[in-house]
């Protein structure tokens, strides 16, 4: 079988056989996700054992982005906590093996509930229970003792949002496919109204149903995935990011990877109250953090569009669709920041 793009099967097979106990080549590699974040493959060995392999996307990458080694070490540090994460198996930092570093974790059974259609795996009670567990896991993540898991030096603790605004503004300047005044206006408003950061915790950076595996039988989050944006900082940024993926008919998110339009999910206010009760956090400025999340998501989406354009300059339809989504996210953020 021909391996998918991004996998040098003979070299990767040999490396896995040498570094993972019980590995049985040849392996079959199937792309699970690609494009927005690191490329993720299901690797199934000759005995039927499934693993997950992650590597950076193909093409030119923005500085500091898609560091699979850093991501793998964060997940490894969380193994002994109550936060559900995949088991870490091996890390290859030798580019000679596959053209880029790659990380290997255990395969976790379940469903990524990232569209209204996939929400069908849960009945209405299941949607409610899984939603509250999603919030509980986030609260547990924000309660992790940084020193105990060895992540206190992962990044600076203070000034998270300010640093993020600078970082993503620079990313926009380095990847934009055209000028978009709304992006600059949101950045200005965000910088002018940064809430006080009350504490520093692990911040996942992209926390939502779409980055979790849900077990339909238990109605719980079985594993949190995609830690590439993880850092230390203001936990409210994680809550705000999760919140923009909660459907509001009066202000729908201009994206398609939100399951909650299917119905049966708790109201956002109920989830915010649950988080506040578990953590003691003040959630009154959540609109600011939702706007920040939408703006940052717009910048990330623009980077994806620029990378796709560099590899496929003829695909003008995809570029137009991406640009429209980015503009929609910028307008969404502006609406949230309105007086």
- pLDDT higher than 90, residue 219: yes
**Can you tell me whether residue 203 is helix, strand or coil?**
strand
Into how many domains does the chain fold? 2
Continuous segment of H or E residues that includes residue 233:
strand 231-233
Instruction: Please indicate, yes or no, whether residues 231 and 199 belong to a single structural domain of this protein.
Output: yes
* Structure tokens that stand for 139 in this block: 């609260």
Query: What is the rounded CA–CA span in Å between residue 138 and residue 123?
Result: 22
* pLDDT, tens only, 267-291: 999 999 999 999 999 999 999 999 9
CATH number of the CATH domain containing 131: 3.90.1200.10
Give the global pTM.
0.92
- pLDDT higher than 70, residue 301: yes
- C-alpha distances in angstroms, 20 versus 13, 25, 73, 233, 264? 10, 11, 17, 34, 42
- pLDDT higher than 90, residue 211: yes
Last residue within a domain, chosen from 74, 106, 138 = 106
* CB distance 243 to 174 below 8 Å: no
**Region of poorest pLDDT, from 3-7, 152-156, 216-220, 293-297:** 3-7
- pLDDT higher than 60, residue 159: yes
Parallel/antiparallel/unpaired status of strands 50-55 and 212-215: unpaired
Mean pLDDT of 227-237: 95
Instruction: Please indicate, yes or no, whether residues 176 and 314 belong to a single structural domain of this protein.
Output: yes
Largest interatomic CA distance in the chain = 60
Last residue within a domain, chosen from 64, 81, 106 = 106
> Checking phi first, is residue 176 left (phi over 0); if not, alpha (psi -120 to 50) or beta?
beta
* Site of tokens 């490396």: 15
Instruction: Please indicate, yes or no, whether residues 263 and 210 belong to a single structural domain of this protein.
Output: yes
Q: Which residue(s) pair with 28 in the sheet?
A: 44
| Residue 333 CB partners (closer than 8 Å, separation 6+) | 182, 186, 290, 291, 292, 294, 295, 298
Q: Residue 40's domain spans which residues?
A: 9-106
* pLDDT, tens only, 19-76: 998 877 899 999 987 545 689 999 999 889 999 999 988 865 544 556 899 999 999 9
| Average confidence score pLDDT of the chain | 92
Last residue within a domain, chosen from 54, 72, 106 = 106
């Amino acid at each position: 079988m021909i391996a998918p793009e991004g996998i040098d099967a003979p070299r990767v097979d040999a490396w896995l056989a040498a570094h993972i106990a019980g590995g049985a080549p040849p392996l079959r590699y199937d792309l699970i996700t690609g494009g927005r974040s690191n490329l993720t493959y299901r690797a199934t060995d000759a005995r039927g054992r499934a693993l997950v392999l992650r590597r950076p996307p193909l093409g030119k990458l923005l500085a500091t982005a898609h560091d699979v080694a850093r991501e793998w070490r964060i997940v490894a540090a969380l193994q002994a906590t109550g936060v559900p994460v995949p088991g870490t198996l091996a890390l290859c930092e030798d580019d000679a093996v596959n053209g880029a570093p790659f990380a290997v974790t255990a395969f976790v059974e379940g469903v990524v509930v990232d569209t209204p259609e996939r929400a069908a795996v849960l009945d209405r009670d299941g949607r409610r229970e899984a939603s509250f567990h999603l919030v509980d896991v986030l609260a547990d993540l924000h309660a992790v003792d940084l020193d105990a898991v060895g992540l206190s030096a992962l990044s600076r603790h203070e000034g998270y949002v300010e640093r993020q605004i600078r970082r993503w503004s620079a990313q926009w300047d380095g990847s934009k496919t055209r000028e978009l005044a709304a992006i600059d206006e949101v950045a200005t408003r965000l910088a002018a109204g940064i809430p006080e950061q009350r504490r520093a915790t692990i911040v996942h950076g992209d926390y939502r149903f779409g980055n979790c595996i849900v077990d339909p039988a238990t109605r719980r989050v079985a594993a949190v995935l995609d830690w590439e944006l993880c850092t230390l900082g203001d936990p409210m940024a994680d809550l705000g990011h999760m919140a923009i993926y909660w459907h509001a008919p009066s202000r729908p998110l201009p994206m398609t990877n939100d399951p909650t339009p299917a119905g049966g999910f708790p109201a956002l206010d109920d989830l915010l109250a649950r988080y506040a009760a578990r953590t003691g956090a003040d959630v009154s400025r959540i609109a600011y953090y939702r706007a920040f999340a939408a703006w940052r998501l717009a910048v990330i989406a623009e980077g994806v569009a620029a990378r796709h354009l560099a590899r496929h300059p003829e695909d003008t339809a995809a570029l137009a669709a991406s640009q429209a989504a980015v503009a929609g996210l910028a307008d969404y953020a502006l609406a949230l920041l309105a007086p």
